[in-house]
Amino acid sequence: MTAAESPAGSGRFERLRQGLRRTREGILVRVAFLFRGAAKADDWSAALETALIQADLGPRAAAQIVEAVKGQPGSTPPSWEGVRETARRVLRDILAASGPAASASTRRPRVVLIVGVNGGGKTTTAAKLAQRLRTEGKKVVLCAADTFRAGAGEQLRLWAERVGVDFVGHRPGADPSGVVFDAAAAALSRGADALIVDTAGRLHTQEPLMRELEKIVRVVGRRIEGAPDDVLLVLDATTGQNGVSQAKQFLGAARVNGLVVTKLDGTASGGVAVRIVQELGIPLRYVGVGEGPDDLVDFDPDEFLEGLLPSAA
């Protein structure tokens, strides 16, 4: 039984499948039609590569799929079923080779930093993660360290009330590292299982932001030895290649060890998740498929590929 077929996984998979609907339909229209009589034998490979790039899988993954399809025995042009299964295999290999998994630390509180540019879904991701942990019976503290964006602290406070977790924040313009230090102290004193920190997300071209992230990492590590356990970089799927460029700015500053791709439900280019993983070499941990508190789902490569290129199309 696959994760998607299990009782616990069925609801999660359905949300993921719906989130990938526009991307899936785009691929099926472009690629499936291509191999159902619409292509000439001498131009199918170029047309396939173009269709895959249009789904924002990226030129590297598209080229790998085309080469793998060419290497399969059979007729020319190949069948849609053969293309689909070959593409799934190539993409599965890319997603499985993305790097180490989450930190194995069992320290309490577990410290999670949420980083990324403004508008990508950082604050809602922090809140959704808090909701997930709370439903697992964990005591969670949410920290509003984005003191530069107007209303960010109030937004997170309202989320904390909504999902039923503790909140620590300061006045707008306060030193973000000071907020994190106080939140770490609160998490320790309250016996929290997890501390989730929503960091600032000004434009990635502003060097002071990166220095501030480095400072936050140092401060929380001094207060809770070994922290942070996880640094999750939140990327908006609708930004495509710009998201990859943004991501690279954060890697050196914040010890990123996991990715969250949001707004998959709002784009026809959901294949960018593959592109991001391949270019950054960092595992994709969660995907956001809606605005509700439960719309952050664990990333499972097989479920993702079933939603992107379903077995029965």
Q: Give domain limits for the chain.
A: 7-96, 110-256
Instruction: Out of 70-74, 104-108, 135-139, 250-254, pick the least confident.
Output: 104-108
Question: pLDDT value at position 31?
Answer: 77
3, pLDDT greater than 50: no
Tokens 């998959």 correspond to 264
Question: pLDDT value at position 207?
Answer: 61
Give the residue-averaged pLDDT of 264-285: 82
* 209 — pLDDT class (breaks 50, 70, 90): confident
- Contact, 165 vs 192, CB < 8 A? no
Burial of 244 (0-12, 13-18, 19+ CB in 10 A): middle
- Contact, 260 vs 286, CB < 8 A? yes
The string over 206-234, giving b where at least 16 C-beta atoms fall within 10 Å of a residue's C-beta and e elsewhere, is eeebbebbeebbebbeebbeebbbbbbbb
Instruction: Out of 102-106, 191-195, 219-223, 228-232, pick the least confident.
Output: 102-106
Q: In CATH, which of 1.20.120.140, 3.60.15.10, 3.60.9.10, 3.30.565.10 is domain 7-96?
A: 1.20.120.140
Give the residue-averaged pLDDT of 41-58: 81
Report the range out of 37-46, 70-79, 108-117 with the highest average pLDDT: 108-117
* 193 — pLDDT class (breaks 50, 70, 90): very high
Question: pLDDT value at position 10?
Answer: 62
Same fold, 7-96 and 110-256: no
Instruction: Out of 95-99, 164-168, 216-220, 304-308, pick the least confident.
Output: 95-99
Write out the two tokens for 52.
């895959």
* 101 — pLDDT class (breaks 50, 70, 90): low
- Contact, 286 vs 66, CB < 8 A? no
pLDDT above 90 as % of the chain: 37
* 8 — pLDDT class (breaks 50, 70, 90): very low
6, pLDDT greater than 50: no
Question: pLDDT value at position 102?
Answer: 58
How many CB atoms neighbour CB 157 within 10 A?
A: 15
How many CB atoms neighbour CB 292 within 10 A?
A: 11
Region 110-256: CATH code: 3.40.50.300
More confident residue, 40 or 236: 236
- Contact, 51 vs 268, CB < 8 A? no
Write out the two tokens for 15.
């949300």
* 184 — pLDDT class (breaks 50, 70, 90): very high
* 208 — pLDDT class (breaks 50, 70, 90): confident
Spatial separation of the C-alpha atoms in residues 190 and 180, rounded to whole Å: 15
Tokens 């000439």 correspond to 40
Question: pLDDT value at position 75?
Answer: 65
100, pLDDT greater than 70: no
Mean pLDDT of the chain: 83
More confident residue, 32 or 182: 182
30, pLDDT greater than 60: yes
